[in-house]
Amino acid sequence: LETSSGASCEFAQLAGAVDADGLRTQIDELATFSDTPAPSVTRILYTENDISARTYIKDSMKSAGLTVREDAIGNIFGRWQGTEETSVVGTGSHVDAIPYAGKYDGVVGVLGAIEAIRALRKVGFTPRRSLEVIMFTSEEPTRFGFGCLGSRAMAGSRNIYEILEGAMDKDNISFTEAARTAGYLKEGEDLKSVAVTNETYSGFVELHIEQGPTLENEGKGIAIGIITAIAAPASLKVDFKGDGGHAGAVLMPFRNDAGLAAAELAVAVEQHVLASGSIETVGTTGVMQIHPGAVNSIPREAHLEIDVRDIDEDRRDMVVEKIHQSAKDISNRRNVELQSFDVVNQDPPAQSGATIVEAATSASAELGFKSKHMISRAYHDSLFMSRITPTGMIFIPCHKGYSHRPDEYSSMEDIVRGVQSGGDVRALEDVR
Amino acid sequence: LETSSGASCEFAQLAGAVDADGLRTQIDELATFSDTPAPSVTRILYTENDISARTYIKDSMKSAGLTVREDAIGNIFGRWQGTEETSVVGTGSHVDAIPYAGKYDGVVGVLGAIEAIRALRKVGFTPRRSLEVIMFTSEEPTRFGFGCLGSRAMAGSRNIYEILEGAMDKDNISFTEAARTAGYLKEGEDLKSVAVTNETYSGFVELHIEQGPTLENEGKGIAIGIITAIAAPASLKVDFKGDGGHAGAVLMPFRNDAGLAAAELAVAVEQHVLASGSIETVGTTGVMQIHPGAVNSIPREAHLEIDVRDIDEDRRDMVVEKIHQSAKDISNRRNVELQSFDVVNQDPPAQSGATIVEAATSASAELGFKSKHMISRAYHDSLFMSRITPTGMIFIPCHKGYSHRPDEYSSMEDIVRGVQSGGDVRALEDVR
Ligand SMILES: [Mn+2]
Ligand SMILES: [Mn+2]
Ligand SMILES: [Mn+2]
Ligand SMILES: [Mn+2]
């Protein structure tokens, strides 16, 4: 690859240049920045461990010869300057982790991209377009209740700046205060400065573990999933309020138990999802908190967070509407106040850029890997990048489809195959 | 009341001697020792605020001229020595408070008893039998999952010592370590030393807010409830475990959602209780925790704590058995592991001592208060004291029956009436 023409004869060279041991070491080292003990990883936006992980990523980018820059929300950019001043090829993912998650989700797409750059350097590739590795801020929704903060802000997603300015975490720390603590959003800085134009990137690709069992179930044949669309996620926050009281003293007819309202709604979420008629509809009550939470106290307040996804936006929105109706019915029947039913986000699904899908498909074929076109039901920063540039994703198998768990696992062989495929997509920068 | 004969002609004297303002001040001061902001009160066993409250109680006892003593578990005894060496008349309650509770539950029975002693002194009463005010350790189950630790240990309740030695709180702090931190259960001290014999007390009476609306609903006529029996409580801890996973990536048929198992069981608890056929059966799922608790993560673990009470032990045990059966059915149907189903306690109901009921009834009548014989569905230290001595309880009205809530409220008029009635029961020590 002495030119930027991406000639197929040099694919084997790139394959040999990826340092699997070095990448494994970095994945393991990054996993040590965690609020919970190994093997679990918990890394929440703007906390001490998140800041340490950011420093680690910036150091890794610098050691790969990239020029590092951060924006006001904390997206980190490592750029390999191309020979021509033109739009940039982007790649990357996130390194934040929900409570008790694993070490591969997101991380593979950031450290893998940096390693791909190292490999491209080793084989003597000189980029014409600049290549940029992006570590997005808070892909996970843990701290402020909705995810992809960094990529949403880059894409200038409607209302995102106003929402962030008003956002509070569970300890009543505002988004602005949290960002400042971590060294971002400094006095005089404006969140709107994070937005980029549709001309900034010529394309974006994200390498990610599948987080489902499809590729693994294909057997040894298929190593690479090429994403043609990302399912449409919606997330809801629901609060019920009753009167509470002593678990011994208040007779059943006089109760309005917020915990039971929550329990019924969680069961109703599953029923409405199953009634959609499509295997592609999924719904989850991932958060269910009751207050005061004592064995001898009738629950007075309940807070639920619900996630509904589908590749079909209308079908998903119908499920959301049914959940809302159930919440109202339960509230009436149980005389429990439905204090709030907030649709936190309800994003449309994304189609991958055709050029990226084609490039990834042919790169995998050149490398001798079998690939499969598939849909991502998980949420990714690519969903928002697709609004401003042709975007695609490369999936690699993950053990039993386990993700968001401490035993999340992808083999180094699969990770390296993914890095090679991704690296080649970027090398094919002239294709577009 | 110059002698200990409790002649009815001096009741009016005692009534005038109760210092309502002083008692109100003490109730308000004690409420400031709280882990949560006013008006809520949270005071958990052996924490800093619990220790501060204990110091406050000991100081109050001393200022009332009582001789203060503590046992190995932290029960506090304030004794007014009688003229004869004989068994002791006990009275008291607790001052610990569940999260976000109010300031009257338990407190009225401790500070009220000390005020009754002050009043008895003022009117020149000289006790023949010693009078002892008891502040029991951890009536509430918050920290170690079951309540009435102090009274259970005094009554030598089966297995209590072994259970406490093995008990751990949610932060994995052992009971022994927690007790030592608070200055109890010192090196060489044995929990068994807390037990008292059946000869120690000649009787026990506990003044308490009703925690239900019955007395208030009677209108202005009835000021005093006299408890003839305490309902039988059982408490359960249940743990479900599934596989968890990513809320977007795992399709519905491949899930085993521990949170939905928990939600279904909470709903089943209510169904089984309602099916008991008696208004006296109550059941509450007061704790429902799911792990990891993120909106985009399928719940992998769920922990429930369930309280079931009835005045009929067999009927209550039948409900517990049905809940166990539902837990097994849900586990099988959802392929979610039922990791544990523990019956933490399942105590028999208690009958009040006939002599105490009679004394309280006539004392109320002498004071000009109308009283009502009733049953306590709430759990009290009296349940365990009744195993070692004739025991009774005096209830006073509480606003709307609210308890275990920040807006728990009893008027000073009702509290003073309760203190007078209780004081007179103790003055009637010769009746037995
Ligand atoms: Mn994730
Ligand atoms: Mn991810
Ligand atoms: Mn209580
Ligand atoms: Mn109480």
Residue B144, pLDDT score: 93
Average pLDDT over residues A19-35: 97
- Determine the residue of chain B that is closest to A237 in CA distance: B295
Compute the distance between CA of residue A215 and CA of residue A393 in angstroms, rounded to an integer: 14
Query: Is the pLDDT assigned to residue A11 strictly greater than 60?
Result: no
- Which residues of chain A does B287 touch, with a Cβ-Cβ cutoff of 8 Å? 290, 293-295
What is the C-alpha separation between A101 and A105, in angstroms, rounded? 8
Mutate to test the interface with B, among A139, A291, A296 (most CBs of B within 10 A): A296
- Summarised one tens digit per residue, pLDDT across range B47-98 is 999 999 999 999 999 999 999 999 999 999 999 999 988 889 999 999 999 9
Q: Which pLDDT score is estimated for B46?
A: 98
Residue A418 reports pLDDT greater than 80: yes
- Segment 335-394 of chain B within 8 Å of chain A by CB: 376-379
Specify the residue for token string 């089943």: B268
CA dihedral angle for residue B326, residue B327, residue B332, residue B337, rounded to 10 degrees: 180
Report whether pLDDT(A99) > 70.
yes
Q: Does A277 touch chain B (CB under 8 A)?
A: no
Per-residue model confidence as pLDDT tens digits over A348-395: 888 999 999 999 998 889 888 999 999 888 779 999 999 999 999 999
Task: Compare all CA atoms of chain A with the CA of B344 and give the residue at the minimum distance.
Answer: A295
Nearest by CB to A252, which of B245, B273, B307? B273
CA distance B1 to B8: 9
Q: What is the structure's pLDDT at A429? A: 59
The number of C-beta contacts closer than 8 angstroms across A and B is 260
Top residue of B404, B405, B410 to mutate, by most chain A CBs within 10 Å, is B404
Question: Which CATH number is B8-231+349-427 given?
Answer: 3.40.630.10
CA distance A305 to chain B (A): 5
Give the model's confidence band at A432: pLDDT under 50 very low, under 70 low, under 90 confident, else very high: very low
Q: Out of B99, B263, B270, whose CB is closest to A293?
A: B99
Q: pLDDT of B144-190, one tens digit each?
A: 988 999 999 999 977 889 989 999 998 999 999 999 999 999 999 99
Cα–Cα distance for residue pair A50/A182, rounded to 1 Å: 9
Average pLDDT rounded to a whole number, residues B97-117: 96
pLDDT in tens, B199-253: 999 999 999 999 988 899 887 778 899 999 988 789 999 999 999 999 988 889 9
Which chain B residue lies closest to A302 (C-alpha atoms)?
A: B288
For residue range B321-341, list pLDDT tens digits in order.
999 999 999 999 999 999 999
d(CA B390, CA B62): 27
For A35-74, the pLDDT digits (tens) are 999 999 999 999 999 999 999 999 999 999 999 999 999 9
| Chain B partners within 8 Å of A270 (Cβ) | 252, 257, 260
**pLDDT tens per residue across span B288-334:** 999 999 999 999 999 999 999 988 899 999 999 999 999 999 999 99
Listed range (A376-380, A407-411, B276-280) with the worst mean pLDDT: A376-380
For residue B93, give the ligand nearest its CA: 4
Q: Which residues of chain B make contact with A307, given a CB cutoff of 8 A?
A: 247-248, 295-296
Q: How far is the CA of A418 from the centre of ligand 3 (A)?
A: 59
Instruction: Render pLDDT for A177-188 as a digit per residue (tens, 0 to 9).
Output: 999 999 999 999
Q: What is the dihedral of CA B288, B289, B290, B294, to 10 degrees?
A: 120
> Helix-strand-coil percent breakdown of chain B, rounded to 5?
40, 25, 35
Per-residue pLDDT band for B6 (boundaries 50, 70, 90) equals very low
Q: Give residue B11's pLDDT.
A: 55
Model confidence at B102: pLDDT above 90: yes
Sequence-separated (6 or more) residues with CB below 8 Å from residue B346 = B232, B234, B235, B317, B320
Show which of residues 182-211 on chain A sit within 8 Å of chain B, judged by CB atoms: 210-211
The C-alpha of B268 sits at a distance from chain A's nearest C-alpha, in angstroms, of 10
Contacts of residue B412, defined as CB under 8 A and 6 or more positions apart, other chains included, come to B20, B23, B24
Q: Verify whether the Cβ–Cβ distance A378 to B248 is below 8 Å.
A: yes
Residues 6+ apart with CB under 8 A from B324: B341
Domain with CATH 3.40.630.10 in chain A: 8-231+349-427
pLDDT at site A10? 52
pLDDT averaged over chain A?
A: 91
**Confidence check: pLDDT of A425 > 90:** no
Q: Which residues of B touch A299 (CB under 8 A)?
A: 285-286, 288
pLDDT at A146: 85
For A65-74, A138-147, B269-278, which range has the lowest pLDDT when averaged over its residues?
A138-147
Assess whether the previous peptide bond of B213 is cis (omega < 30° from 0). no
Q: What is the mean pLDDT of chain B?
A: 91
Could you tell me whether strands B370-376 and B201-209 are parallel, antiparallel, or unpaired per DSSP bridges?
unpaired
CA of B105 to the centre of ligand 3 (A): 6
What residue of B is the nearest CA neighbor of A263? B263
Count of CB atoms situated within 10 Å of the CB of A113 = 30
- The CATH 3.30.70.360 portion of chain A extends over 232-346
Q: Identify the pLDDT of residue B421.
A: 85
**Poorest-pLDDT segment among A191-205, A220-234, A285-299:** A220-234
Q: Which of A206-220, A302-316, B390-404 has the lowest mean pLDDT?
A: A206-220
- The second-level CATH assignment, the architecture, of A232-346 is 2-Layer Sandwich (3.30)
Residue A277 pLDDT > 50: yes
Query: Rounded to the nearest 5°, which phi and psi values hold at A378?
Result: -85, 155
